[in-house]
Amino acid sequence: MPEPTTVWLVPLGRGGQQEVKGLLALHPDGLVFSPTGSAEPARLPLTEIKRVHRVHGSPVMIVQHHTDGAKLKTAFYFSQPPPMPPPRRGAPSLTNAGARAPHQVADQDPGRPSPVLGLKRSGKRRTQRKNAGYLTTANVTKKEVIVTWVAEIEEARRSR
């Protein structure tokens, strides 16, 4: 069995995708995630796990499981996840709440393109590229650990 490892758990497709740092361990009956702090450990029985795989090119393992009849996916990041995407266009930003682009007119909506410069590109794609680069770099040191985890979980599932 692999050594307990520090990971960040992110529930996928279940509103509020906030990561939780903790320790992931494989026990004979399933996965146990113990959050950092005093929270109760989360247990995922091997019988509920339907598929486990590594996301190629990133330090992420996805576990598909059925809990209470619902099909769920949970991501385990073996490196701290990059920050969540920036707020949608037009939403106030904490970093530049009072800042205004030099070409922006005072009464102009910040989410609309500037009539002077034409279409203005948002930072969303830049952020996505930056996050993808971070994950690819983190993958170099974590790949073998994740491959071992996936193999061990699959082996434990088969032996049950």
Domain boundaries, the chain: 5-83+123-159
**CA 68/CA 36 separation, integer angstroms:** 26
Percentage of the chain lying above the pLDDT 70 cut: 73
- Dihedral angle, C-alpha 151, 154, 155, 157, nearest 10 °: 160
Copy the structure tokens of residue 51: 């598929």
Q: Is the pLDDT of residue 97 over 70?
A: no
Q: What is the CATH number of domain 5-83+123-159?
A: 2.30.29.30
What is the reported pLDDT for 103? 41
Q: What is the pLDDT of residue 105?
A: 42
Q: DSSP characters for 15-81?
A: S----EEEEEEEETTEEEEEESSSPPPEEEEGGGEEEEEEETTTTEEEEEEEETTEEEEEEEESSPP
pTM of the predicted structure, to 2 decimals: 0.72
Which range of 17-21, 69-73, 128-132 scores highest in mean pLDDT? It is: 69-73
Q: Which is higher by pLDDT, 18 or 52?
A: 52
